[in-house]
């Protein structure tokens, strides 16, 4: 009986010890991070690139610039509230239409990531991956988003009036120069919303590595701080 008990204990699976980041190979850390970032980026694009992805989400919903609030109030008093609402809706719809363009570039940024990049991101704080994505993709996404945004907002009569009012507000320092054209403003806000959503996904994975996609991703993020 005693001998059978010893044999049974010897055949039990040993508990898996969580590795520290130093113990993970560079290749495993890189592969794990890529798994997790692909998951986060894909989810962010899916959340935003659909009807009401921006308009129905208070965190990323695009409104008129703060410097134009006074002009907005005056226009509403003048009976133009419906046109303002149409413009705001069109800005958000434009962002929703543009965001799917990000999928290809975000995926490419993940594939291009080096082992050095991966270890820096894993130890670089809660938004390190988001900053990496912004650095690698923002210029090209700006170029791709703007024509889509312009085509959408050009269909709204008040869009041209936005440009006039924003230019006047900019002359008093109330609106930044990059926001005086509606397509420039919406593109910037769409990118801000995209990266903010990616940051939320990144933060969730760091706080709960067990929810990360793939065993390597769980190991890589689970090793942080060990």
**d(C-alpha 221, C-alpha 209), whole Å:** 6
Residue 152 in any domain: the answer is: yes
Q: What digits encode the pLDDT tens for the residues 20-71?
A: 445 555 666 677 778 888 888 999 999 999 999 999 999 999 998 888 877 7
Q: How many CB atoms lie within 10 A of CB 140?
A: 15
Q: What is the mean pLDDT of residues 150-171?
A: 84
**d(C-alpha 65, C-alpha 163), whole Å:** 12
* Count of domains forming the chain: 1
Residue 13 in any domain: the answer is: no
* Domain carrying residue 29: 24-222
pTM for this prediction: 0.81
Residue 11 in any domain: the answer is: no
CA 193 to chain centre: 6
Residue 30 in any domain: the answer is: yes
Residue 180 in any domain: the answer is: yes
CB distance 91 to 62 below 8 Å? yes
Q: What digits encode the pLDDT tens for the residues 79-126?
A: 877 888 888 999 999 999 999 999 999 999 999 988 888 888 888 888
Residue 5 in any domain: the answer is: no
Residue 187 in any domain: the answer is: yes
Residue 3 in any domain: the answer is: no
């Amino acid at each position: 009986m005693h001998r059978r008990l010893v044999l049974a204990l010897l055949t039990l699976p040993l508990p898996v010890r969580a590795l520290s980041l130093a113990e993970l190979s560079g290749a495993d850390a890189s592969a794990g991070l890529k798994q997790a970032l692909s998951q986060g980026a894909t989810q962010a694009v899916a959340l935003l690139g659909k009807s009401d992805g921006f308009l129905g989400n208070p965190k990323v919903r695009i409104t008129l610039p703060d410097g134009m609030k006074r002009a907005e109030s005056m226009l509403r008093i003048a009976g133009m509230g419906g046109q303002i609402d149409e413009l705001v809706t069109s800005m958000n719809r434009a962002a929703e239409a543009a965001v799917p363009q990000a999928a290809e570039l975000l995926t490419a940024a993940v594939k291009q990531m080096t082992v050095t990049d991966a270890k820096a991101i894993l130890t670089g704080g809660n938004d390190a991956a988001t900053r990496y994505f912004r650095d690698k993709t923002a210029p090209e996404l700006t170029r791709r988003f703007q024509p889509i945004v312009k085509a959408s907002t050009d269909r709204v009569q008040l869009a041209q009036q936005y440009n006039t009012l924003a230019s006047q507000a900019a002359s008093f320092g109330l609106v930044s120069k990059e926001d005086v054209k509606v397509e420039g403003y919406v593109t910037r806000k769409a990118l801000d919303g995209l990266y903010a959503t990616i940051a939320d996904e990144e933060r969730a994975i760091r706080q709960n590595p067990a929810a990360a996609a793939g065993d390597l991703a769980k190991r890589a993020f689970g090793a942080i701080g060990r």
